[in-house]
Amino acid sequence: MCLAVPARIVELHNSTATISVDGEVDVSLVDEPRLGDHVLVHAGFAIHKWDQSEVDELRAIRSATGLREALS
């Protein structure tokens, strides 16, 4: 099974970013990645940059279900 995880960019070096979840990912597939952006990560690549409404929705779902927050 494949799984994509939400993460926040905590360091940015050209097309590589260190993320809040686990390690480094390639950010070349998202438009204008910036420090602090929230991204969806799959197989070592950031595949989607989340807008603030998506981040807020995920936080609400996690809060309602008691799941651990990965987007700190």
State the average pLDDT over residues 6-14: 94
Do residues 6 and 61 lie in contact, with contact meaning Cβ atoms separated by under 8 Å? no
| SS3 assignment, position 58 | helix
pLDDT tens digits, one per residue of 21-59: 888 999 999 999 999 999 999 999 999 999 999 989 988
Do residues 12 and 34 lie in contact, with contact meaning Cβ atoms separated by under 8 Å? yes
Task: Return the number of other C-beta atoms located less than 10 Å from residue 40's C-beta.
Answer: 17
pTM of the model: 0.82
Task: Return the number of other C-beta atoms located less than 10 Å from residue 29's C-beta.
Answer: 15
